[in-house]
Structure 1
Amino acid sequence: MPSTMRANLPKGRRLEWTALLVAFVATWPIELVLAERKYGFLRGGFGQSHALAGPTEIGGFLIATALAQAVLLGLLYLVLRQLIRTPKRQEERLLAFLFLGIGIANLALAAKLELLSYFSDAVSFQLLRNLGGGSLVDAALFGLSESALYAVSLVGAVALFLALRWWLRRRAGTRAVPDATPAVGWRGWGLLLVTTILAVFAADRVRDVRLAAHRMNAYAPLSEGLKQLTDVDHDGFGLFGAEIDRQPFDAARFPFALDVPGDGIDQDGLAGDFTALPAAHDYRAPPLPAQPRHLILVVLESTRAGLLNARVNGRWVAPNLRALAAEGSYVREAYSHVGFTTESLKSLFTGTLAPAGPHPSLFRDLKAAGYRVAVFSGQPEGFGDIDATVGERASSDVYVDASTLKDERATAFAA
Structure 2
Amino acid sequence: MGENETRKPDAGSSTTDVTPATSPQAPDTRDPSAPPQGSIPPPPSESLFELVAEAAFVAVATALLGSIPAALRVARAGGSFLGGWIVSASVVVPVLVLLIYLSHAAGRGFRMLTGQGAGRSTALGLALWAGLLSPVLMFFSSVLKEKTNHRGLGGATFGVVALALAILMALVARRLVSAGRGLVERGASARAVAVGFAAIAVGPLLLLSLPLLRHTDTGPHAAAIASALIDGLILAVATAVAVSFGLGDDLRAKARRIGLPTAGAFVILGFGLLTMSQHLGLALRSGGGLAAALLGGLERWTDRDGDGAGALFGGADCDEGDPRRHPGAIDIAGDGIDQDCDGVDGAPVAKHDSGADVPAAAAATAAADTKPAAVPLPTTRPSIVLVTLDTVRADWTSAFGYKDPTTPRLEALAKRGTAFGAAYAPGSDTQRAFIHLFSGRPLEDTAKDRREWPTLKDENITVAERLKDAGYLTAGVSSFQWISKERGFAQGFEQFVEVFEEDHPERGTTGPQAIRAARAFLEKTASDPKPVFLWVHLFDAHSEYRKKTGFDFGKGEEGAYRSEIGFVDKQLGDLIDAIDASPRAKSTAIIVHGSQGEAFDEHGSTGHGKDLHAEVLHVPLVIALPGDPGGGRRLDASAVSTADIPATIVALGQASPEGVTGSSLLSLARGEAPGKREPVYARASKRFAVIDYPLKLILQERKGRDRTLLFDLAADPGEKRDLSEQRADDLNRLSALLRERFKLKVERDPD
Alignment TM class, shorter chain as reference: 0.3 to 0.5
Larger relative helix fraction: 1
Larger relative strand fraction: 2
Larger radius of gyration: 2
TM-score using structure 1 length = 0.46
TM-score using structure 2 length = 0.29
Q: Which has the higher contact order (CA 8 A, sep 6+)?
A: 1
